[in-house]
Amino acid sequence: MTRLIFLGPPGAGKGTQALLLAKDCEVPHISTGDILRSAVAAGSELGQKAEQYMSAGELVPDELILDLIQERLGQDDTKAGWLLDGFPRNVPQAEFLQKLLDQIEQPVDFVVNLDVEDDVIVARLLQRGRDDDEESVILNRLQVYRQQTEPLIDFYRDRQQLVSVDGNQTMDVVHADLKRLVLE
């Protein structure tokens, strides 16, 4: 049984590492982006609500994201475990998630923080070459992360659930470190 939450700044490799580890552990990799796209594609009531915000170029409100997470964690494929990537993004979401996990009796094993230095993140994201990967945009995203998401590190450390992994290493070395952490 594997239930993990992945934290880390944009460009730390959360999505890549969570996806690889989910395959190793044979559990679903759950990202908020995937949940939103699936709900919209399925035409569910929550998906239709989310699509209204997304098509207007607005952020989907926390309350709707929380409902979608609750719906996703209630599906059959999550009984053996899951890896959450991109959620929670702030302390109120983490508090909600904790209540939800208590309610559905699926406690998180631990929270993985991929720790990567800002200059490494900037270099990685600039190499990707996406349209929105200009240095000023990247620095703004990092600032937003520091303000909104980084407090989760203390939140989970205080609950003795946080494990930090050095994300400054190659993808293969980080993956090997994560496998040792989870599978041994």
Query: What does the mean pLDDT of the chain come to?
Result: 91
181 in a known ligand binding site: no
Strand ranges, E, within 17-157: 29-31, 81-85, 110-115
For residues 13 and 5, give the distance between their C-alpha atoms in angstroms, rounded to a whole number.
Answer: 13
Q: Which residues are catalytic?
A: 14, 89, 128, 130, 141
Residue 57 has pLDDT above 80, yes or no: no
The proportion of the chain whose per-residue pLDDT surpasses 70, expressed as a percent, equals 100
Binned at pLDDT 50, 70 and 90, residue 37 comes out as confident
Distances (CA, A) of 128 to 118, 122, 134, 178, 182: 16, 10, 10, 24, 29
Determine the average pLDDT of the residues in 26-45.
90
- Cα dihedral 42/90/17/64 (nearest 10): 0
For residues 163 and 172, give the distance between their C-alpha atoms in angstroms, rounded to a whole number.
Answer: 18
Top-ranked range on mean pLDDT: pick from 20-24, 65-69, 127-131, 133-137: 20-24
Q: How far is CA 90 from the centre of its chain?
A: 11
- Cα dihedral 132/53/86/26 (nearest 10): -110
Stated pTM of the model: 0.88
Residue 168 has pLDDT above 90, yes or no: yes
For the record, the structure tokens of 124 come out as 């990685």
Angle at Cα 138 formed by Cα 127 and Cα 145, nearest 5°? 130
- The CATH H-level (homologous superfamily) assignment of domain 2-183 is P-loop containing nucleotide triphosphate hydrolases (3.40.50.300)
16 in a known ligand binding site: yes
Would you list the domain boundaries of the chain?
2-183
Q: What does the pLDDT read at residue 86?
A: 84
3 in a known ligand binding site: no
Among candidate residues 20, 28, 45, the one with its CA nearest the CA of residue 106: 28
Do the beta carbons of residue 6 and residue 85 sit within 8 Å?
Answer: yes
Residue position matching structure tokens 């399925």: 42
For residues 27 and 1, give the distance between their C-alpha atoms in angstroms, rounded to a whole number.
Answer: 9
Distances (CA, A) of 184 to 25, 85, 129, 176, 179: 12, 22, 37, 11, 7
89 in a known ligand binding site: yes
Q: What is the pLDDT of residues 110-165, one digit of tens each?
A: 999 999 999 999 999 999 877 777 898 889 889 989 998 899 999 999 999 999 99
12 in a known ligand binding site: yes
Residue 23 has pLDDT above 80, yes or no: yes
